[in-house]
Structure 1
């Protein structure tokens, strides 16, 4: 989990740098913005798991739902890129670490979405 946390933080830093390169309002800028939001959500979810705490930044059902697409997209792109790289290179290792983190994050995202959906149903 701690390694996953580090990989997510690294992805956030790289995404923030990439976002700065694009003009606001462009599709590339929006893509990076959506990735950042999703990565920050999964960072919180992993932090919650590590702390074994129920304290978490509150995310709406919609925020959680919107996080799925960027995370699954990152998984897909990382898997495709990794296949093109020689095993043992730093890029291959980085992508392996990122994929491990994203595969940890996805079920946590699913769990959080299910929990908030269940809470909403109980309220209604």
Structure 2
């Protein structure tokens, strides 16, 4: 993958994280919506650290594994939303960018888990 695609993916994740963090205070702590969003933010942050070339601390093996499901959930929701738009439209392309960025994050997390298991 080209360096520009990594930079673009990091920009997408950074934008998503910022929007999620602005939304988080709107939910009551302890509710399912709050917990879901908190887990998504954590998974997105792990992905962005790995995309940025950072190292996720060794203590986070369980967190890495747990991050895969929220990312998969975001991909499923984006694919469903994208299916409502015509290919080539702005909304369709925006969802495609999000899906690609999150798939890259998933791949990096899986690679990190594999690297640690060796």
Compute the TM-score of the two structures, normalised by the length of structure 2.
Answer: 0.87
Structure 1 segments of 4 or more deviating over 3 A? none
Distance 2:30 2:96 in 1: 32
Match of 2:55 in 1: 56
Distance 2:47 2:117 in 1: 17
TM-superposition CA deviations, 1:2-30 (whole Å, max 9, x none) = 11001111110121122121111110000
Question: Secondary structure of 2:27's partner?
Answer: coil
The count of corresponding residues between Structure 1 and Structure 2 is: 112
Q: How does 1:31-50 map to 2 (within 5 A)?
A: 31-48=36-53
CA RMSD of aligned residues (A): 1.4
Match of 2:10 in 1: 5
1:18 matches 2:23? yes
Match of 2:98 in 1: 98
Question: Secondary structure of 1:40's partner?
Answer: helix
Distance 1:14 1:110 in 2: 25
TM superposition shift of 1:90: 2.9
TM-superposition CA deviations, 1:52-73 (whole Å, max 9, x none) = xxx5141511010110000111
In structure 2, list runs of 5 or more residues that go unmatched.
1-5
TM-superposition CA deviations, 1:59-101 (whole Å, max 9, x none) = 5110101100001111111111100123343322211110110
Question: Secondary structure of 1:86's partner?
Answer: coil
TM superposition shift of 1:117: 2.6
Question: Secondary structure of 1:23's partner?
Answer: coil
